[in-house]
Structure 1
């Protein structure tokens, strides 16, 4: 599918969710010493709610993809928490292993000191409903992206992805990583100021403002000379790259079986 048409579908998905997971709205005051782990299905409306919260709290997380038919992490998750559903959070800092998206969001906010709260009652129904609607925009010829496992080769080390939840160009990359069951450290890169809004070419010319408004945006600016997502780092091959289509081709060539 044409990249721009694909981006329009992803923009519709972001609109359905009111652009949750775009900016830092409730930054966590504490940072986990050990990285959080999330057993996740990219297309799941419940997993999306947790990823949105992590983005808004500016917390990084190790994503362990569990697509339908996957074998790499699903059994591992069920050994940790028999009968688990997804998302499932593992916090090695506290020994907590838990599922249920609302409970996970409240746990993260309480433990890492964020003002974010899960929605309850009617608000919860709206959140789940709009998240499910957003998932429908991930349908492409052949089925839903980020849902079913594809044959793949496991990397020796997890990859690293700079992204934020609602980014229309990051969604296809996260979906492919999920389908290939490739673990990756999600370096959340939400917008930290109004001057971060808009496509990089337009934004940087219009505002001419500092790019490092968050810790991960600052890292991108200092180490790559610009700030945009997605940005993939593969420690197994030394490859580091921007542009979603290039990243998709790289993942298929390197890890597709």
Structure 2
């Protein structure tokens, strides 16, 4: 007989109305395909409207490094030279109590192996298999767009004194909370990295919203755009969830402290710009916030200011089955680069590939 474990957090009701604004009509959003079987359209920018200092070059060519071969995936293995990085990236699992590891309404049942048909994803558990399920809300037709960066959230706001005081009081709160709710809600997001000194998307945020503050969310499905992590979280759970904020994202100061402690081991990573070549199409990464291996890849994508479409697939996500069928088994991170045709597993090798292909040498 199957036994079930329900790991759903207790509901916390929304406490206050959201503050949001409609997307200005003069801006041009950069979108990627919502279907994994489609080819992502090119990134398009208008220097007149957005004032970008650089844009995809028609003369630039992108190809894998010479003699490149995707590595054979190694399950449950850590490359010896990456053990410390994986350890420091794992601190979030401890301090955040696994927030961002499970999707909404996650539950698991342990059933005999013969009850799982061939070709269906399920985690081996000795003589049984773990059958995972979830309860998800409405799915957005187009990916949510978020402008942000990894690392500490040193918010840059307008020069008036009230905003300065507010910025100081929140300077240690990183943006991982928004990424956590994305994993919980299992929604795909088109990320526009905004590292310090990044020449492209920081400026665009200031033009769209009036200030360089992060994270900044744009929902092309509704026309809503907003700043503020708390407001973004409440908007997303109201629109694409059950309306309740998960417990670990609604504890006020405790949420702030644990989110900050989770970043200690990766302080400075994923926050400063490294010169790069902006590709015509966003990279696609299958990942989720709770995975330390995925975090290492995300840091590099942000530092190189590479737009990327996140196919969120935390535990209980139906997209795990999609990746299982696509690649022959499930393992994350998994990178699909439509600019070169490369598809690959293994976080350490993905990081090396991204740097070799897009960093300015």
Q: TM-score of the superposition, structure 1-length normalised?
A: 0.85
The within-5 A match list for 1:36-47 is 36-44=144-152, 45-47=173-175
From 82, 91, 98, the counterpart of 2:219: 91
Displacement of 1:19 after TM fit?
1.4
1:180 to 1:101, Cα distance in 2 relative to 1, 3 A: same
The within-5 A match list for 1:61-100 is 61-100=189-228
More helix by share: 1
Could you list the structure 1 runs, at least 4 aligned residues long, displaced by more than 2 angstroms after superposition: 25-28, 113-116, 118-122
- 3-state SS of paired residue (1:49): helix
Structure 2 CA distance for aligned equivalents of residues 256 and 120 of structure 1: 36
Displacement of 1:112 after TM fit?
1.6
Structure 2 CA distance for aligned equivalents of residues 119 and 249 of structure 1: 37
Unaligned runs of 5+ in 1: 193-213
From 307, 311, 314, the counterpart of 1:187: 311
From 266, 273, 287, the counterpart of 1:138: 266
**1:244: which partner in 2?**
347
Displacement of 1:20 after TM fit?
0.7
2:116 is aligned with 1:13: no
Q: How many residues align?
A: 232
Whether contact under 8 Å (1:61, 1:185) holds in the other structure is yes
Larger CA Rg, structure 1 vs 2: 2
**1:125: which partner in 2?**
253
State the superposition RMSD in angstroms: 1.8
**1:31: which partner in 2?**
139
Identify which range, 181-190 or 82-91, moves more after superposition.
82-91
Whether contact under 8 Å (1:217, 1:227) holds in the other structure is yes
Structure 1 CA distance for aligned equivalents of residues 325 and 249 of structure 2: 44
Displacement of 1:84 after TM fit?
4.0
- 3-state SS of paired residue (1:236): coil
Structure 2 CA distance for aligned equivalents of residues 174 and 121 of structure 1: 21
Displacement of 1:121 after TM fit?
11
Structure 2 CA distance for aligned equivalents of residues 119 and 191 of structure 1: 18
Displacement of 1:182 after TM fit?
0.2
From 217, 221, 229, the counterpart of 1:101: 229
Structure 2 CA distance for aligned equivalents of residues 220 and 34 of structure 1: 19
**2:293: which partner in 1?**
169
**1:229: which partner in 2?**
332
Q: TM-score of the superposition, structure 2-length normalised?
A: 0.62
Identify which range, 11-20 or 87-96, moves more after superposition.
11-20
Unaligned runs of 5+ in 2: 1-79, 106-134, 153-172
